[in-house]
C-alpha cells in the first residue's frame, strides 16, 4: 500500500514539475513573438520528453543524489514514508507556485523537502556538509553565472551585429525583426532557426536534469527499475506541462523583460550550456534559476527588466526551501505516527 502511495506521490511531483517547468525552455520563443503559445508548449513537451528518455543513459549520478544517499542513514532511505514525505512536500510547494504563476525550482523544493524530512527523522545525524556542498552551492551560484554569461554573450553578439551592419526593424505588434541576408538566406530566418534549436536544447537539458531527481525517490520500489521509473516520470511530466503551464509561461515570457529573437536566442544558449553541463557532472542546478538568471541578464543590459516581477520571483525562491521543508517534515511526523 505504502509503495503505491509513493508511486502516486512521485507522479504528482512529476506533474507539478511539468506544469511549472516545461515552458521555461521555450519562454523566449513565445516572449519574442517567434511563435505562439500552443506551438511553443508542443515543442517544449517533445524535447523535454527526449531529455527525460536520455536521462536513462546519462544521469544516474543525479538519481543517487536525490535518493537521499549520503544525507541520511541508508536504512532510512529504504523506508517508503521518507520518500513519500519528500515527494509530497516538494510537489505541494511546486503546485501552489504554479497556481499563482511563479516560476520556482523543483530542485530547490526537493532540497528543502530532503532537509525537512531528514532533520526530523535523524536530527544531528543529517549530513549538513553534503547538503551545502552538493546541493546549495550549485543552486546559489547558477543564476548568477547565467546572468553574467548572458550579459557578456549578448554584448558580444550585439557588437558583432553592428560590425556586420545587420539592422533591425519594429513590425506590427512591436516585434523586432532582423533585416538583411547571409549567403542568400534571411538573417531573421537564421536567427529563428537557431532560436528553435536553442529552446529545444534547454528543454532537453531540463528533462535530462529533472527526471532523475524525481526517480531517485522511487529507488525503494524494487519492482520498478530506474529505466521504467524514468519513463513513467517523463510521461507524467509531459502531461503536467500540457495541462497547466500557461500561467508560469506568461510570467517567464512576458513579465520579466521584453525581448527580441536574438536576445531570446542568447538567453537560451547560456541556459542550455549550463544545465546540460551540470546534468552530465551530476550537479543539481535549477533550470528555473538558470533560465530566469539568463533572461534577467538580457533585461539588465537592455535596461528593460521589470524589477517588480523579479522581486516577486526572488521572494518565491527564498520561500521555496522553508515551505517545502515544513510541509515534508510535518508529513513525515504524521506518517510515522500512523505507520509505526
DSSP assignments along 238-260, one per residue: HHHHHHH-HHHHHIIIIIS----
| Per-residue pLDDT, 159 | 62
* pLDDT bracket for residue 87 (50, 70, 90): very high
* pLDDT bracket for residue 71 (50, 70, 90): low
- The DSSP secondary-structure symbol of 281 reads T
Residues 6+ apart with CB under 8 A from 35: 26, 29, 43, 196
* pLDDT bracket for residue 211 (50, 70, 90): confident
* pLDDT bracket for residue 331 (50, 70, 90): very high
Grid cell locating 237: 511530466
Which of 205-214, 234-243, 307-316 has the lowest average pLDDT? 205-214
The three-state secondary structure class of 191 is helix
More confident residue, 118 or 220: 118
pLDDT in tens, 133-146: 666 676 677 777 77
Decide: 253 and 33 in contact? Cβ < 8 Å: no
pLDDT in tens, 21-68: 999 889 989 988 889 999 999 999 999 999 888 877 765 555 555 555
Pairing of strands 168-170, 176-178: antiparallel
| Per-residue pLDDT, 205 | 80
* pLDDT bracket for residue 172 (50, 70, 90): very low
| Per-residue pLDDT, 133 | 66
Average of pLDDT values for 256-283?
Answer: 80
- What is the C-alpha to C-alpha distance for residues 256 and 310, in angstroms, rounded to an integer? 6
| Per-residue pLDDT, 175 | 47
Q: How many CB atoms lie within 10 A of CB 223?
A: 7
- What is the C-alpha to C-alpha distance for residues 38 and 35, in angstroms, rounded to an integer? 8
Decide: 194 and 31 in contact? Cβ < 8 Å: no
| C-alpha radius of gyration, the chain, whole number | 20
- What is the C-alpha to C-alpha distance for residues 254 and 300, in angstroms, rounded to an integer? 15
| Per-residue pLDDT, 228 | 78
* pLDDT bracket for residue 309 (50, 70, 90): very high
Residue 323 in this model has a pLDDT that exceeds 80: yes
More confident residue, 226 or 303: 303
Residue 174 in this model has a pLDDT that exceeds 50: no
pTM: 0.83
| Per-residue pLDDT, 65 | 56
User: How does 114-128 read in b/e, with b if 16+ C-beta sit within 10 Å?
Assistant: bbbbbbbbbeeebbe
* pLDDT bracket for residue 153 (50, 70, 90): confident
* pLDDT bracket for residue 9 (50, 70, 90): very high
| Per-residue pLDDT, 39 | 95
- What is the C-alpha to C-alpha distance for residues 279 and 208, in angstroms, rounded to an integer? 7
pLDDT in tens, 229-247: 778 889 999 999 999 999 9
* pLDDT bracket for residue 306 (50, 70, 90): very high
Grid cell locating 73: 542513514
Residue 171 in this model has a pLDDT that exceeds 60: no
Beta strands in the chain (DSSP E): 168-170, 176-178, 181-182, 185-186
Grid cell locating 116: 525537512
Q: At what angle do helices 2-21 and 106-122 cross, to 10 degrees?
A: 150
Residue 103 in this model has a pLDDT that exceeds 90: yes
Residue 186: phi, psi to the nearest 5? -65, 130
Q: At what angle do helices 287-302 and 187-215 cross, to 10 degrees?
A: 150
User: How does 280-313 read in b/e, with b if 16+ C-beta sit within 10 Å?
Assistant: eebbbbbbbbbbbbbbbbbbbbeeebbeebbebb
Portion of the chain with pLDDT greater than 90, in percent: 34
Amino acid at each position: 500500500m505504502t509503495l503505491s502511495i509513493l508511486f502516486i506521490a512521485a507522479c504528482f511531483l512529476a506533474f507539478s514539475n511539468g506544469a511549472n517547468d516545461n515552458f521555461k525552455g521555450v519562454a523566449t520563443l513565445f516572449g519574442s513573438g517567434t511563435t505562439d503559445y500552443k506551438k511553443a508548449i508542443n515543442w517544449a513537451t517533445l524535447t523535454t520528453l527526449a531529455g527525460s528518455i536520455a536521462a536513462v543513459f546519462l544521469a544516474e549520478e543525479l538519481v543517487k543524489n536525490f535518493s537521499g544517499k549520503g544525507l541520511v542513514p541508508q536504512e532510512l532511505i529504504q523506508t517508503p514514508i521518507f520518500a513519500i514525505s519528500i515527494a509530497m512536500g516538494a510537489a505541494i510547494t511546486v503546485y501552489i507556485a504554479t497556481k499563482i504563476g511563479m516560476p520556482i525550482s523543483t530542485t530547490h523544493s526537493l532540497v528543502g523537502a530532503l532537509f525537512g524530512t531528514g532533520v526530523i527523522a535523524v536530527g544531528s545525524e543529517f549530513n549538513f556538509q553534503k547538503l551545502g556542498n552538493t546541493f546549495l552551492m550549485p543552486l546559489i551560484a547558477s543564476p548568477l553565472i547565467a546572468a553574467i554569461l548572458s550579459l557578456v554573450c549578448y554584448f558580444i553578439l550585439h557588437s558583432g551585429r553592428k560590425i556586420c551592419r545587420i539592422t533591425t526593424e519594429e513590425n506590427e505588434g512591436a516585434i523586432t525583426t532582423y533585416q538583411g541576408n547571409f549567403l542568400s538566406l534571411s538573417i531573421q530566418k537564421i536567427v529563428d532557426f537557431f532560436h528553435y534549436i536553442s529552446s529545444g536544447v534547454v528543454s532537453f537539458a531540463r528533462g535530462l536534469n529533472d527526471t532523475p531527481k524525481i526517480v531517485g525517490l522511487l529507488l525503494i520500489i524494487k519492482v520498478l527499475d530506474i529505466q521504467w521509473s524514468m519513463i513513467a516520470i517523463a510521461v507524467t511530466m509531459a502531461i503536467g506541462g500540457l495541462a497547466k503551464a500557461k500561467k508560469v509561461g506568461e510570467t517567464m515570457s512576458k513579465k520579466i523583460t521584453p525581448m527580441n529573437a536574438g536576445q531570446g536566442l542568447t538567453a537560451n544558449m547560456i541556459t542550455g550550456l549550463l544545465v546540460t553541463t551540470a546534468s552530465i557532472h551530476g550537479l543539481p542546478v535549477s533550470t528555473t534559476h538558470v533560465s530566469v538568471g539568463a533572461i534577467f541578464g538580457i533585461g539588465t543590459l537592455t535596461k528593460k527588466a521589470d524589477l517588480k516581477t523579479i522581486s516577486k520571483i526572488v521572494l518565491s525562491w527564498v520561500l521555496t526551501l522553508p515551505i517545502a521543508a515544513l510541509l515534508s517534515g510535518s508529513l513525515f511526523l504524521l506518517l510515522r505516527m500512523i505507520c509505526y
